[in-house]
Amino acid sequence: MRRLEVKTRERTQFVDITAQVREVVSDENIVSGLCVVFCPHTTAGLTINENADPSVCRDILAHLEGLVPQSRKFTHSEGNSDAHIKASMMGSSLNVIIENKKLVLGTWQGIYFCEFDGPRQRKIYLKIIKD
């Protein structure tokens, strides 16, 4: 298992971690298999989406804020219930196929760490499973 560190600078933010995940896959020298990407935080998540136009990430964050506004009255006393809900909506893990020693992603796809309760120092775990 490998670990990545991500430092976020905003309360809500998408951080493109594609290059770091690719580097780990390259280091492992696996011809074919699966890369499991896991986020161990309850107020952050992961997603795969377009990485060519940064406005896509901004639109997703804005839409999530509209669906689950931070200002809404929640019973959770820490004041970050919206972050817990948004993290659950995004999910805590991804599986990406490895073929010919490379991640199999679409032309415009990138892997994003989704911060909903930052800024913070975060961890992401990667597990490479060989065919």
Query: For residue 73, what pLDDT is reported?
Result: 87
Residue 72: its pLDDT value, please? 86
pLDDT given for residue 113 in this prediction: 98
Q: What is the DSSP string of 49-77?
A: EE-S-THHHHHHHHHHHHHS-TTS--S-T
More confident residue, 77 or 54: 54
Other Cβ atoms within 10 Å of 111 Cβ, number: 24
pLDDT in tens, 88-117: 999 999 999 999 999 999 999 999 999 999
Nearest-angstrom CA–CA distance, 22 and 108 = 15
Average pLDDT over the chain, rounded to an integer: 96
**Can you list the domains of the chain with their CATH numbers?**
2-130 (2.60.120.460)
pLDDT(40) > 90:
yes
What pLDDT sits at residue 107? 95
Instruction: Decide: pTM greater than 0.85.
Output: yes
